[in-house]
A = this chain, B = another copy of it.
Amino acid sequence: MNDFQLDKRLQNDCILLQECNEYLLLLMNNSLVPWFILVPKTTVKELYELPAPLRQIVESKIDLFSRFILQQFEMSKINVAAIGNVVSQLHIHVIGRSPSDFCWPDVVWGRPERKPYKPNEIELIKQRVCESLNLK
């Protein structure tokens, strides 16, 4: 993973919640929906190119974050996507959605609406992530 560096746009748009050996967990700095992004430490750009062990970790974390979002944010739907048309670095969106959110049922990508988190909100989410996901 020596060549791995987090894309500058993801750096700017997101808050780093957790870093492990295999991936970074980011929070999109937009409190309109709970929008997490998983960035596997790899230089491949498509899901199918991931080596099997890392793919397995990615899938299990997608599931873990999906459950976490549904439990912690009173959301009713999860949107999972690997797109990468703008930022080519492989990253997987795991987003909580609800019929009462700002753009339901449309997808969130490409929408201009933003509401950055306040520092105490970020701390609260970091705490929830640590407690609930038991990530190191």
A46 and B81 CA atoms in complex are apart in Å by 12
Asked if B78 and A81 sit within 8 Å, CB to CB, the answer is no
Give the complex CA separation of A86 and B80 in angstroms: 14
**When the two chains form their complex, are residues A66 and B48 in contact, meaning their CB atoms are under 8 A apart?**
yes
Against B, the Cβ 8 Å flags (1 = close, 0 = not) of A60-88 are 00110011000000000111111111101
Contact residues on A (Cβ < 8 Å of other chain), bracket: 20 to 34
- Name the residue in A79, A80, A85 with the highest tally of chain B Cβ atoms < 10 Å from its Cβ: A85
B110 contacts A80, CB within 8 Å?
Answer: no
For A59, give the chain B residue with the smallest CB separation: B59
A97 at the interface (CB under 8 A from B): yes
Highest count of chain B CB atoms <10 Å: which of A48, A67, A79, A110: A48
